[in-house]
Amino acid sequence: MKKTVEDIEVKGKKVLLRADLNVPMEGGKITDDNRIVQALPTIRYLLGQGGRVILFSHLGKVKTEEDKKDKTLKPVSEKLGELLGRTVTFIPETRGAELEQAVDGLADGEILLFENTRFEDLDGKKESGNDPGLGRYWAGLGDVFVNDAFGTAHREHASNVGIASNIETVSGYLMQKEIDFIGGTVDEPERPFVAILGGAKVSDKIGVIENLLEKADKVLIGGGMAYTFFKAQGKEIGTSLLEADKVDLAKSLLDAGGDKIVLPVDAVVADKFAEDATHRTVSVDDIPGDMMGLDIGSETVETFKSHLKDAKTVVWNGPMGVFEFENFAHGTIGVCKALAGLEGAMTIIGGGDSAAAAASLGYEDDFSHISTGGGASLEYLEGKELPGLAAINDK
C-alpha cells in the first residue's frame, strides 16, 4: 500500500505537487481541459487543508528554444484559476531566485504553478534524464512531495523519481485511483474477467497479451493487430496491416492461449485506406487478396457481446478499427456501447485511443474508470513496475 495525501499533515507546509497537465493546445489555446479537471480533487484537498501548493507539470516535448513559445504552462495557470475560482500565481521559470522567492512568499491555502519541467531538457535532458542535481533542487523547494501524475509514472524523470529520492513522497487522489483500478482490479479481478485488446500492432501489446492471458478468462482481439493472428492461422489477409516478423509470435500466443483468445469472425474490408473507400463486410475466411480489413464486422460485435454479457471485470485497450473514419468506426462504437451498458461490472479503459473513442462517443460517464495515462496504463497492464509509482513511499 502506498502513502496518500491523507496520510500526511500539510497545514503550513510547502507541498510539491506533480500533476499531469499535459493538455492539447492549438495556437496558445487549450482544446481539452480534461487533465486539468482530473487534477482538481488533489489540488482542492491540499488547499483546503492549508497546504502551500507548488504545482508543476510537463507539456509536450521541448527540443528547441522555439518550442518554448508553444509549450508554456501560462494558459494552464489561467484555466486552472478559472476552475478553482481563485488566483494561481504563474512563475515563468523552472528554477532560480524568482521561483524561490515566490515559494517562500506563499501563505497557507495559496498555490503557484511553475514553468514546464521539460524546459530543463534544452540543456542536456536534465528533466527526462533524471538529473540528480535537478531532482535535489526541486525537492529542496518543498517539505513534502505529492505525485499525482500517473501519465508519466512509467518514466524515470527528475520531476517524479528524482524528487522522490530526496523527500517524503505520497500519492495524490488520481494516482491512487489508477493504482486501485488498474493494479488492484487486474491483480484481483472479480470473475469472469474479460480483456479487449485492439489497436494497430501486436508488437505494442505483446507484454499486455502475455500478462492478460495469465489473468483473464477471455482475451478478445480486434483492430489491425488481428490480421497478424489471422496470418498465423494461415488465412488470406489481402493488403491488411501485417507485422510479418510477429507471425510466429502470434502463433505461439494462439497456442498458449487456446480458447481464451477470441478473434473476429468477420471484417469490414476496403479497397484503400481512406474514409471514402469502397467497402463491404466479409467472413475472415473470405478476405479478398486486393482489399484490407479496417474494422471488425457486426457479427464479431455480437460474438464479443456474448463473451461480455456475464463479465464482472472488463479491461479495454485499443480501438477495433480505424475509428477516425466514420465508415470504419462501427466496431469500436459497438464494443463501447456494449461495455457502457454492462450492469454490475467493473469496466476500465486503459487510456489512449479507447479513452478518446469513449469520450468522443459520449460514454465517458458509463465506465467505472478511464485511465489518464496511455503509455503508463499499458505498462501497468503488462505487469511492469512503474518507476514513478515505485518511488512513492509505502505506508
Catalytic annotation, residues: 35, 201, 352, 375
CB distance 354 to 320 below 8 Å: no
Sequence letter at residue 358? A
Q: Is 352 annotated as a binding residue?
A: yes
Q: Is 389 annotated as a binding residue?
A: no
Q: Is 59 annotated as a binding residue?
A: yes
Taking Cα atoms as reference points, which of 321, 332, 315 lies closest to residue 380? Answer: 315
Cα–Cα distance between 290 and 287 in angstroms, integer?
9
Q: Is 96 annotated as a binding residue?
A: no
Sequence letter at residue 377? S
Q: Is 289 annotated as a binding residue?
A: no
Q: Is 131 annotated as a binding residue?
A: no
Q: Is 21 annotated as a binding residue?
A: yes
Q: Is 20 annotated as a binding residue?
A: yes
Q: Is 350 annotated as a binding residue?
A: no
Cα–Cα distance between 130 and 133 in angstroms, integer?
9
Sequence letter at residue 129? G
Q: How many CB atoms lie within 10 A of CB 31?
A: 9
Q: Is 354 annotated as a binding residue?
A: yes
Q: Is 52 annotated as a binding residue?
A: no
Q: Is 324 annotated as a binding residue?
A: yes
Q: What nine digits make up the cell of 229?
A: 493472428
Q: Is 248 annotated as a binding residue?
A: no
Starting at the edge strand that comes first in sequence, how are the strands of the sheet with 169-171 ordered?
89-91, 111-114, 52-56, 14-18, 144-147, 169-171
Sequence letter at residue 133? G
Q: Is 22 annotated as a binding residue?
A: yes
Query: Which residues sit in the known binding site?
Result: 20-22, 35, 58-61, 118, 155, 205, 293, 324, 351-354
Query: Which residues sit in the known binding site for substrate?
Result: 20-22, 35, 58-61, 118, 155
Query: Which residues sit in the known binding site for ATP?
Result: 205, 293, 324, 351-354
